[in-house]
């Protein structure tokens, strides 16, 4: 789901009394800590789902910004309304609910509640109420030239990109290694990475997520098997084995993450046109690796310090790591816990390099 989130307000927690006569979702979707909201409340919060409140759209519906007045405080949220006329929308809703209700991590967009009931015409209505992340998507920041207003062009330094890459890797490590059963996101891409006020990254959109070992999960916990949609992901980020009928796995997320990392470094989308013989972003980087990486590095990925030091400590290692994620064979790909470990080591080396650089500037 592509989110085009405007910098309007920050997220506030919603605490409210629930009306007893409102139809709400099944308890399958929510833990006891989540508050419930009604269709009427969401309609009011979005000014009847006004086009002026529309902030994004995607495969299964639209995303609106909504505001609630709670105890004289404004609470701003993102409300993802499913278009239930679309094939797979209901399954996507179930998938996202089952995934989001189990996860808690600083680099994952938080679910506040869900609404499943009837609209004012008596039709079926389903929506997710999510934490509002105020600084837009990574896609906007990487490809700011696509914004309507070029005066608002955004820039991310090389070091900031490294921090964002680590945030996303930490979220995936959590999903793959730190919860049981593991969750495969299935759609890692810049538009599903949101940045907050401090440019900390938050992974969103679990509409295509796959809960691993689903039959065991369903038997033991009563959960539902996640989406079985034919296409798992977005063109350019989907691992090659999925096209050959290979089952969804955490290795697929690792490939998508590798492509994301290459996009962050080069500023090129995987669907862009490349030179003759370079049929993909991965091949484009392979052709440049290791001696011509500066030539393909995104010009807006600025850095300070000696270029050779930055090449040795940051650029080469991160490109190498990205290519390790993009191995053609799933078994040859590095795991996400190792990705986090290596990125932390690179970050530590960067911090040491910056400290030396700053000391040199003071000395002079």
Q: Which residues are catalytic?
A: 187
CA dihedral 214, 322, 57, 130 (to 10 degrees): 60
The residue assigned the tokens 């538009």 is 191
CB 133 within 8 A of CB 141: no
Dihedral through CA 320, CA 325, CA 330, CA 333, nearest 10? 60
The encoded tokens of residue 155 equal: 């820039």
3-state secondary structure of 335: coil
The number of residues making up the chain comes to 364
What per-residue string of b and e applies to 169-180 under the rule 16 or more CB within 10 Å gives b? bbbbbbbbeeee
Reported as half-sphere exposure (CB side, CA atoms, 13 A), residue 34 has a value of 26
DSSP alpha helices (H): ranges in 78-221? 89-100, 138-142, 158-177, 214-221
Strand partners, 67: 76
Instruction: Report d(CA 1, CA 56) in Å as an integer.
Output: 8
Tokens encoding 300: 């807006």
Helices (H) and strands (E) in the chain, counts: 11, 10
The span from the CA of 57 to the CA of 69, in Å, is: 25
Alpha helices in the chain (DSSP H): 39-45, 89-100, 138-142, 158-177, 214-221, 250-266, 281-288, 293-296, 307-310, 316-325, 336-363
What is the C-alpha R_g of the chain?
Answer: 21
């Amino acid at each position: 789901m592509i989110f085009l989130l405007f910098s309007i307000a920050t997220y506030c927690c919603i605490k409210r009394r629930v009306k007893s006569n409102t139809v709400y979702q099944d308890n399958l979707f929510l833990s006891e800590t989540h508050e419930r909201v009604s269709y009427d409340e969401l309609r009011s919060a979005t000014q009847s789902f006004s086009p002026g409140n529309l902030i994004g759209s995607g495969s299964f519906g639209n995303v609106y910004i909504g505001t609630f007045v709670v105890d004289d405080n404004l609470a701003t949220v993102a409300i993802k309304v499913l278009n239930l006329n679309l094939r797979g929308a209901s399954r996507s809703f179930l998938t996202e609910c089952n995934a989001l209700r189990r996860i808690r991590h600083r680099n994952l967009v938080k679910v506040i509640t869900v609404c499943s009931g009837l609209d004012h015409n008596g039709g079926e209505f389903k929506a997710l109420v999510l934490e509002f992340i105020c600084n837009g998507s990574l896609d906007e920041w990487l490809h700011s030239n696509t914004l309507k207003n070029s005066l608002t062009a955004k820039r991310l330094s090389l070091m900031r990109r490294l921090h964002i890459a680590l945030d996303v890797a930490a979220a995936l490590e959590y999903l793959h290694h730190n919860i049981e059963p593991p969750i495969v996101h299935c759609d890692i891409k810049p538009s599903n990475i949101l940045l907050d006020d401090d440019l900390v990254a938050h992974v969103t959109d679990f509409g295509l997520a796959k809960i691993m070992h689903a039959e065991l999960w369903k038997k033991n916990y009563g959960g539902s098997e996640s989406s079985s949609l034919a296409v798992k992901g977005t063109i350019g980020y989907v691992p090659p084995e999925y096209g050959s009928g290979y089952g969804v796995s955490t290795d697929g997320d690792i490939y998508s993450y590798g492509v994301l990392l290459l996009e962050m470094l080069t500023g090129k989308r995987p669907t862009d046109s490349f030179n003759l013989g370079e049929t993909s972003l991965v091949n484009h980087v392979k052709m440049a690796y290791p001696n011509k990486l500066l030539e393909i590095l995104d010009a807006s990925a600025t850095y300070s310090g000696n270029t050779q030091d930055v090449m040795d400590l940051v650029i080469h290692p991160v490109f190498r790591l990205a290519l390790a994620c993009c191995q053609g064979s799933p078994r040859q790909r590095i795991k996400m816990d190792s990705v986090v470990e290596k990125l932390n080591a690179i970050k530590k080396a960067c911090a040491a390099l910056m400290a030396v650089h700053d000391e040199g500037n003071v000395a002079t």
